[in-house]
Amino acid sequence: MSQFLKTMLGAAAGSLLISGAAVAQDDTIKIGIMHSLSGSLAISETTLKDAMLMLIEEQNAKGGVLGKQLEAVVVDPTDNWPIWPEKARELIAGVGVDVIFGCWTSSSRKAALPVIEELNGLLFYPVQYEGEESSYNVFYTGAAPNQQAIPAVDYFLEELGVEKFALLGTDYVYPRTTNNILESYLTDKGIAEEDIFVNYTPFGQSDWSTIVSDVVALAADGKKVGVISTINGDANIGFYKELAAQDISADDIPVVAFSVGEEELSGLDTTNLVGHLAAWNYFQSADTPANEEFVAKWKAYAGEDRVTNDPMEAHYIGFNMWVQAVEQAGTTDTDAVIAAMVGQTFPNLTGGMAEMLPNHHLTKPVLIGEIMDDGQFDIISETDPVPGDAWTDFLPESAVLTSDWVELECGMYNTETETCVQLKSNY
């Protein structure tokens, strides 16, 4: 069957697109790209697909990997979680990809994970998440809570003097688990339970009037209120518009967002967002030679109006570490690459070096950025690289757990009972 016909049949059957070098499939290394290109999350994930295609094109121009060209296989599971395991199986068992770069929400990752583990696939997950997971078959190149959520709360407490917190999130795994961790952390810091307001809304939420009014009401006693936002996708547009409609500025009630970056702000009128914050591990405005080169390459590839963002940097680091690991292992075999991945280092775009840890998480600096009127961020706080924790220290059931896929060969090791729930041999 011709490559053209395979591509057309795949696309007709469920948004599968194969691209890359025009050579026989057996002579290529196939890379799965699994991101929502339609639905409410397309605003965030389409850029990640494009970034991966750019990275693959650049690597092919360098000669590929192990003397073979790379071939991108793109699928669109949309934001329909039951489709994700189907697409994962299609990529691994059907197409035979050697690695997958993809997922945005934790719901999509957790939906695909059983299939990836069953088939001994390999996933690079580039988005900040709630932690409480360490799979042998996944490398988590986005931030764990101790690399984003906890430092953001500390900034509110120590720098802005926030005394009451509104934890607003989209109703799925990541916001709920993250806010559970933050509630525990805030009470440990002396914030009373009645001073913590928690609310969840569906994907695509558009009516924010009542919720914003409830947040405003928290400040009635004169205490400083701050919003921790795990609102995801295009629901953010309505949320910030409602803040402006109720004449709430960043000075009145600051918002720090974990899912709003340059891509989400691109093309929006940011007049009413100026001064609000985001916590990430990368911003396009980072002033380093490496970032200047990366931004220039991206704009040359995708267009001058396109922006970079944090999950793009995570894919950039993860992809280059994967290339190094494959070259080191001399094969794309999953187990060999996983063994070679731990200890890999690669320069991040903000200065410094990222390192892959035995728990399959990266070291990452934590940055707080203030939204400017051009949709970029003024970096107002930056830390040294922080090792990512698979299991949080702020939930009792997790504080006793650790992950080490090298010495312990375990992703969920109980340090009190000295027993392992997730052994390498389970996969």
The predicted-structure confidence for 76-114, as pLDDT tens digits, reads as follows 999 888 999 999 999 999 999 999 999 999 999 999 999
Q: What is the 3-state secondary structure (H, E, C) of 235-301?
A: HHHHHHHHHHHCCCCCCCCCEEECCCCHHHHCCCCCCCCCCCEEEECCCCCCCCHHHHHHHHHHHHH
Note whether 186 and 301 are same-domain residues. no
Residue 373 sits in a domain whose CATH number is: 3.40.50.2300
Note whether 183 and 248 are same-domain residues. yes
**For the whole prediction, is pTM greater than 0.85?**
yes
Note whether 97 and 34 are same-domain residues. yes
Note whether 165 and 135 are same-domain residues. no
Expressed as residue numbers, the domain containing 128 is 3-143+288-365
| pLDDT over 50 at 275, yes or no | yes
| pLDDT over 80 at 10, yes or no | no
Q: What was the pLDDT predicted at 268?
A: 73
Note whether 350 and 416 are same-domain residues. no
Note whether 268 and 150 are same-domain residues. yes
| pLDDT over 50 at 23, yes or no | no
Note whether 376 and 243 are same-domain residues. yes
Cβ burial of 19 (10 Å; 0-12, 13-18, 19+) is middle
Note whether 54 and 115 are same-domain residues. yes
Residue 388's pLDDT band (boundaries 50, 70, 90)? very high
Q: What was the pLDDT predicted at 283?
A: 98
Mean pLDDT of 62-87: 96
Note whether 259 and 374 are same-domain residues. yes
| pLDDT over 60 at 18, yes or no | no
C-alpha dihedral sign at 235, 240, 246, 248: positive
Contact 43, 235 (CB under 8 A): no
Note whether 237 and 372 are same-domain residues. yes
Note whether 16 and 136 are same-domain residues. yes
| pLDDT over 60 at 221, yes or no | yes
pLDDT digits (tens, 9 = 90+) for 317-351: 999 999 999 999 999 999 999 999 999 999 999 99
Q: What was the pLDDT predicted at 421?
A: 85
Note whether 61 and 16 are same-domain residues. yes
* Distance from chain centroid for Cα 220: 35
| pLDDT over 60 at 22, yes or no | no
Residue 16's pLDDT band (boundaries 50, 70, 90)? low
Residue 426's pLDDT band (boundaries 50, 70, 90)? low
Mean pLDDT of 301-313: 96
Mean residue pLDDT of the chain comes to 92
Overall number of domains in the chain: 3
